Structure 1
Amino acid sequence: MQMIFNELSADFPTYTRQEGKDRMFNFLETYKKMKNIIKNDSVIIDKGYNEIKLSQNYTIYQWREDKSVDKEIKRLFRSFINKATTIDEMDFKENRLDLEISELKYEDKNAIGCLIAYETDNLVISFLSHDYWSKEIIEGKYFSLRDDFEYDEPQKVCVQNVSNEENIRIFERNNNHLNFQEHFKIVSGRDLWNKREMLFPNLIFCENVKSQLINDAQHFHISQIFNKLFILDRYFEKYDGNFDKDAIPNTTPESYSTLTQYKQEHKFRTPDGKELIFSWHVRFTGNYDGRIFFYPDNSCNKCYIGHIGRKLPTVKYPS
Structure 2
Amino acid sequence: MDFDLILNELSLRNPAPNEQVAQQRMSELIKTIKAVKAQGVKVSLRTKEDFHTIILAPNYPLRHWLNDADQVERLFIKTLATKAPFSTNIANPEIQEIENNVSLSEFRHQGEIAIGLGIAYVLNTITINTIAISLLSQECWDSNHVKLEFRCLDEYGEMISKIVEIIHASRSSHVQEHTSLIQQHQERIYQNVSDGLEVWNRREELFPNLEFCDVVRKQLEDIRTGQLELQPVVSILFELHKCSKDWNNGYFNLDGYSVEESGESKPTLDKYFKERTFRCPDGKDRLFDRHIKLRFCNWRIHFFAVKPGQVIIGYVGRHLPTVKHTT
Structure 2 letter corresponding to 1:34: V
- Are the counterparts in 1 of residues 12 and 135 from structure 2 also a CA contact under 8 Å? yes
Instruction: Spell out the pairing of 1:1-16 with structure 2 (5 A cutoff).
Output: 1-16=3-18
- Are the counterparts in 1 of residues 16 and 137 from structure 2 also a CA contact under 8 Å? no
Match of 1:56 in 2: 58
Match of 1:302 in 2: none
TM-score by length of 1: 0.52
Structure 1 letter corresponding to 2:61: T
Task: State whether structure 2 residue 122 is matched by structure 1 residue 115.
Answer: no
- Partner Cα distance (2:82, 2:88) in 1: 17
CA deviation string 1:91-126 (max 9, x = no partner) = 889844121231100011110001101111132011
- Are the counterparts in 2 of residues 14 and 56 from structure 1 also a CA contact under 8 Å? yes
Task: State whether structure 2 residue 151 is matched by structure 1 residue 146.
Answer: no
Structure 2 letter corresponding to 1:132: C
Cα separation, partners in 2 of 1:39 and 1:93, compared to 1, 3 Å: closer
- Partner Cα distance (1:73, 1:181) in 2: 31
CA RMSD of aligned residues (A): 2.9
Residue segments in structure 1 that go unaligned for 5+ positions in a row: 192-212, 215-319
Match of 2:133 in 1: 125
- Are the counterparts in 2 of residues 2 and 38 from structure 1 also a CA contact under 8 Å? no
Match of 1:73 in 2: 73
- Partner Cα distance (2:187, 2:194) in 1: 16
Percent identical among aligned pairs is 19
Cα separation, partners in 2 of 1:2 and 1:90, compared to 1, 3 Å: closer
Residue segments in structure 2 that go unaligned for 5+ positions in a row: 125-129, 197-224, 227-327
Structure 2 letter corresponding to 1:138: V
Q: What is the aligned residue count?
A: 186
If you compute each CA radius of gyration, which structure gives the higher value, 1 or 2?
2
Task: State whether structure 2 residue 181 is matched by structure 1 residue 169.
Answer: no
Cα separation, partners in 2 of 1:94 and 1:152, compared to 1, 3 Å: same
- Partner Cα distance (1:59, 1:5) in 2: 17
- Partner Cα distance (1:22, 1:43) in 2: 20
Instruction: Spell out the pairing of 1:156-195 with structure 2 (5 A cutoff).
Output: 156-173=163-180, 176-178=183-185, 180=187, 185-186=190-191, 188-189=193-194
Segments of 4+ in structure 1 off by > 3 A? 88-96, 173-176, 178-182
Cα separation, partners in 2 of 1:151 and 1:87, compared to 1, 3 Å: farther
Match of 2:311 in 1: none
Further displaced range: 33-42 or 96-105: 33-42
CA deviation string 1:63-83 (max 9, x = no partner) = 22x2x3212211100112xx1
- Partner Cα distance (1:23, 1:78) in 2: 17
Structure 2 letter corresponding to 1:79: T
Task: State whether structure 2 residue 49 is matched by structure 1 residue 47.
Answer: yes
